[in-house]
Amino acid sequence: MRDKFKRKIDYMRISVTDRCNLRCVYCMPPEGVVPKSHEEILTFEEIYRVVKAAVKVGIRKIRLTGGEPLVRKGILALVEVLAKIPEIEDLALTTNGILLADMAEDLYRRGLRRVNVSLDTLDPGRYRELTRGGDIRKVWQGIEAALKVGFDPVKINVVAMADANLDELPAFADLTRKLPLHVRFIEVMPLDSNAKGRQFVSVREMQAAIHDELIPCPGPQGAGPARYFRLEGGLGTVGFISPISGHFCETCNRLRMTADGVIRPCLCSTFGIPLRDKLRSGLDDESLVDLLAQAIASKPKQHNLQDGVCNVPMSKVGG
């Protein structure tokens, strides 16, 4: 289905939980956030029903997010049923990697084929600081396990921050020489006060910080916002995502659903269509499809992040 700006909307990001086993400085306040109760978040049956309706409005790609999706009890069962929906062409998951080593093989066996790992530093001490206590060794064990079982691609998402990791960008890019990793550098988004305090780095500045020559990848760049390059002789790719300095709204193809069942047409949108209570009050399938179509029709032309902080906390965006 196309929205009023003629964009084809075929991708849905679904937060399966608002809980996380890390407290990253640009995502959460030091004290963390109060998680929603079990009754407040959608059941797997409700998520499945939404996805079955979503394919009727043209959704073909699903990404599971959080919080941290792997902390949701029973996530393997959800992956399995979603992977069996014939219309879903691409099922992926974004994780911080802490639990990935123990779950990679089972996730792959249940039908997951793509995984993104969020990792903003390669330094163990700095990682503990940025995540408020995380163990980077577990993340690397998860990345290695994902590569071993056959996930393709395995992407590493790096939020670039001048006051935290700008000096590490060359080392991140260098990972792609010997490993088939897709390392993607992302501009920090001022979604709330936690992120606003991080020093912004534009894609142009990121590219300048990587001293090696970046060779543009030929051919289609994919349906996402990243633009990809290679290092000479590299096995993987280096990508850049510029939501602020060069927003990609004109090609946006996605909807988001929060853990408690609110459909958000835009990352920074305060507008949302709440589904949970409707689902629990006898909403029929046809009406559910209509609500998803309404969400697509309500997508704005572009976000307003360039105007400053929007009032949707990063911890509640849903990946």
Q: Which of 279, 256, 291, 290 is nearest to 46 (CA)?
A: 279
In angstroms, the CA 90 to CA 117 distance is 17
Q: Is the CB of residue 62 less than 8 Å from the CB of residue 51?
A: yes
Per-residue pLDDT band for 313 (boundaries 50, 70, 90) equals low
In this predicted model, which residue has the larger pLDDT, 176 or 318?
176
Distances in Å between the Cα of 269 and the Cα atoms of 67, 263, 311, 317 are 18, 10, 9, 10
Q: What is the pLDDT of residues 157-191, one digit of tens each?
A: 999 999 899 999 999 999 999 999 999 999 987 76
In this predicted model, which residue has the larger pLDDT, 97 or 28?
97
Domain extent listing, the chain: 11-317
Q: What is the pLDDT of residues 30-55, one digit of tens each?
A: 887 899 999 999 999 999 999 999 99
Q: Has domain 11-317 been given CATH number 3.20.20.70?
A: yes
Residue 317's pLDDT is: 59
Q: Is the CB of residue 73 less than 8 Å from the CB of residue 103?
A: no
Per-residue pLDDT band for 215 (boundaries 50, 70, 90) equals very high
In angstroms, the CA 61 to CA 128 distance is 33
Per-residue pLDDT band for 225 (boundaries 50, 70, 90) equals confident
In angstroms, the CA 104 to CA 143 distance is 9
Token pair 């998803």 is at which residue?
292
Q: What is the pLDDT of residues 105-153, one digit of tens each?
A: 999 999 999 999 999 999 999 999 999 999 999 999 999 999 999 999 9
CB atoms within 10 A of CB 228: 21
Q: What is the pTM of this model?
A: 0.93
Residue 290 pLDDT exceeds 60: yes
Per-residue pLDDT band for 201 (boundaries 50, 70, 90) equals very high
DSSP H stretches of helix in the chain? 44-54, 75-83, 100-110, 124-131, 136-149, 169-178, 193-196, 203-209, 276-279, 285-297, 314-317
Residue 247 pLDDT exceeds 70: no
Mapping DSSP to helix (H, G, I), strand (E, B) and coil, where does residue 184 land? strand
Q: From the CA atom positions of the chain, what is the Rg in Å?
A: 19
Residue 164 burial class via C-beta count within 10 angstroms: exposed 0-12, middle 13-18, buried 19 and up: buried
The proportion of the chain whose per-residue pLDDT surpasses 70, expressed as a percent, equals 89
Q: Is the CB of residue 253 less than 8 Å from the CB of residue 222?
A: no
Residue 222's pLDDT is: 61
Q: What is the pLDDT of residues 252-267, one digit of tens each?
A: 999 999 999 999 999 8
Mapping DSSP to helix (H, G, I), strand (E, B) and coil, where does residue 157 land? strand
Per-residue pLDDT band for 226 (boundaries 50, 70, 90) equals confident
**Phi then psi dihedrals of residue 2, to 5 deg:** -105, 145
Q: What is the pLDDT of residues 1-10, one digit of tens each?
A: 999 999 999 9
